[in-house]
Structure 1
Amino acid sequence: LVIDADGNFHGSVSGGCVEGAVVTEAVDVIDSGQAKMLEFGVADETAWQVGLSCGGRIKVYVERLG
């Protein structure tokens, strides 16, 4: 997933609420230069409520390039 300082992005890491949260955090990382490890998790039983087709856990490392 590639994200610019304006929040425009190309690619995908997941879906639902995860995608939006990663984009928001990435803009902060671009501004600060401080990398972050993001973690998301949801149970299968509640996944549909937050826009995901299944539950599980995902870690996303976000860093500024260039």
Structure 2
Amino acid sequence: MQATDTDILKAAEDWRREGRGVAIATVVETWGSAPRPVGSHLVIDEDTNFLGSVSGGCVEGSVITEALDVIADGKPRMLEFGVADETAWQVGLSCGGRIRVYVERVD
């Protein structure tokens, strides 16, 4: 069962309250066939626990890696994945579309 936005945001709030470093990734743009719609969220903590999805699983690993850097340095990142990008096949986005994901630290 897919986590709801409420579940994801509650997890972010709870994890911050526990003193964990937390980042949230949000799909901000899609083109063509995209696995998740604009507004989809993935919350990640400093220990790589996560909840939600920005791609139905195909690029989550890469987003989590970037989120750990965002937690560490506080600098948000805009990530883009698609089949035109040589790394897209490596991270598994082969659906024919592209997505743009904004990752920011939760303070």
Question: How far apart in 2 are the matches of 1:49 and 1:37?
Answer: 19
Rounded Cα–Cα distance in structure 1 between residues aligned with 2:68 and 2:90: 26
Same amino acid, percent of matched pairs:
76
Q: Which runs of 5+ in 2 are unaligned?
A: 1-41
Q: Could you tell me how far apart the structure 2 residues matched to 1:25 and 1:64 are?
A: 11
Q: Which has the larger radius of gyration?
A: 2
Q: What is the deviation of 1:21?
A: 0.3
User: Which residue number corresponds to residue 35 of structure 1?
Assistant: 76
Unaligned runs of 5+ in 1: none
1:1-66 alignment runs, 5 A limit: 1-14=42-55, 15-16=57-58, 18-42=59-83, 51-52=92-93, 54-66=95-107
Q: CA deviation at 1:53?
A: 6.1
Amino acid at match of 1:32: D
Supply the RMSD in Å over aligned alpha carbons: 2.1
Shift of 1:51: 3.9
> Contact 1:34–1:63 at 8 Å: present in 2 too?
yes
Q: Deviations over 1:5-60 (max 9, x none)?
A: 111100100022x11000000010000000000000016xxx88864462110000
